Amino acid sequence: MKNIYFKENNKIRELVKKIEALNIAYKTLEPPPEIIKDLLGKSLLKSALYSARIEGNPLSLAEVGERSLEKNSKSLHQKEVVNLLSAYLFVNSKNAPKMFSKNLILKLHQLVMKNIFSQAGSFRSEPSAIFNQAGIAVYLAPSPKLINGLIDELILFANQKSVPVLAKSAVIQFAFEKIHPFLDGNGRVGRLLSAFILFKAGYSYLSSSLEEYINENKLQYYEALEPSKDAGGFVEFYLQALLQTAKKNFSKINADNTKTEGNDLLPRRKEILLIIKDHPGCSFDFISRRFSSVNPKTLHYDLKKLQDSGFVIKIGRTRGALYRAKN
């Protein structure tokens, strides 16, 4: 991008190194699907809430528990969080597009501003500026005539494979704020675009709820975004936020994973163990019939973990292998 740049320094390199090390450690844990699903579900709700709170939404985590979120709520604050949750779920789903594109940007804005803003999903056609808390304009956004060209530059940058992913996700958010292509919702969409880059690169579980850290350090966040062509300061802030979030999520995953390896088994694994104890020498097909709604791959994983923990012994190596409980 012509108007945005940053120079990699030792601090940035060190932060990237630590985040990548955590991601490798996470992959070696092989956490069970249920732990991943639970973490991601809770984290995406936090991402939605705290992204809204960064913009001034007063709702608390207790007020937006999954049961209290109403899709048809008339409350503007509730709508903001519901819309953001929908957008984060989209970004972290199989339905998300493969490539960073203009359609992705417009789609995210449409999701975020649904039933809130009449121009949802459309670039602005009038001048815009960023104001400080005193109402003074601190940054004049580019002319509407330049938006499409600047977005095209951003897309080319986002799809460059030579750019390191972690730094790229930070620079994209910084540059998007400078382009300021919408009259409202730029911050929320910018954070979603960073989340999209991280999800595609396999960092979504460690980066989930990154917005909570940003909300807790809002002053530094806005200072790092202050008008400048140099994205270096924001890259450092963003990577520090990502590292702290990754440490927190890794600790949670590791604790839950360790817990399931001990005597305090997950409910389904307890049930599988009881079935095997009641029916020594039973086959996988026999067990799977008791869990018709569970993916066979998940059951195989459960059985492997029961074997690794010393609860179950597998007899044979073919599809006809049998299972019995270890005495």
Would you state the pLDDT for residue 80? Answer: 94
Would you state the pLDDT for residue 93? Answer: 87
The whole-chain average pLDDT of the chain stands at 87
Give the range with max mean pLDDT: 52-56, 138-142, 304-308: 52-56
| pLDDT single digits (tens) 199-252 | 999 888 778 899 999 999 999 999 998 867 789 999 999 999 999 999 998 888
Residue 32 Cα to chain centre, angstroms: 18
Out of 2.30.110.10, 3.40.50.2300, 3.40.50.300, 1.10.3290.10, which CATH number does the structure's domain 10-257 have? 1.10.3290.10
Counting Cα atoms < 13 Å in the Cβ hemisphere of 164 gives 15
Nearest C-alpha neighbor of 121 from the set 51, 29, 183: 183
Residue 261 predicted with pLDDT over 70: no
DSSP, collapsed to helix, strand or coil, labels residue 207 as helix
Nearest C-alpha neighbor of 291 from the set 281, 299, 283: 299
Would you state the pLDDT for residue 170? Answer: 95
Residue 194 predicted with pLDDT over 80: yes
Confidence bin at 309 (pLDDT 50/70/90)? confident
Counting Cα atoms < 13 Å in the Cβ hemisphere of 286 gives 15
Consecutive H or E run containing 324: strand 322-325
In this structure, the number of other CB atoms found within 10 A of the CB of residue 53 comes to 22
Domain range annotation of the chain? 10-257, 264-325
DSSP string, 80-135: HHHHHHHHHHHHTSTTS-SS--HHHHHHHHHHHTTTT-TTTT----S--EEE-TTS
Would you state the pLDDT for residue 318? Answer: 75
- Contacts by 141-145, CB closer than 8 A, 24 or more apart: 141/178, 141/179, 141/180, 142/178, 142/179, 142/180
Would you state the pLDDT for residue 67? Answer: 44
Would you state the pLDDT for residue 69? Answer: 60
Percentage, residues of the chain above pLDDT 70: 91
Could you report how far apart the first and last alpha carbons of the chain are, in Å? 65
Out of 1.10.10.10, 2.60.120.620, 2.40.40.20, 1.10.1200.10, which CATH number does the structure's domain 264-325 have? 1.10.10.10
| pLDDT single digits (tens) 53-85 | 999 999 988 887 644 566 667 789 999 999 999
Name, in order, each residue with C-beta under 8 angstroms of 170's C-beta and a sequence gap of 6 or more. Answer: 194, 231, 234, 235, 238, 239
Mean of pLDDT values over 253-276? 73
Percentage, residues of the chain above pLDDT 90: 54
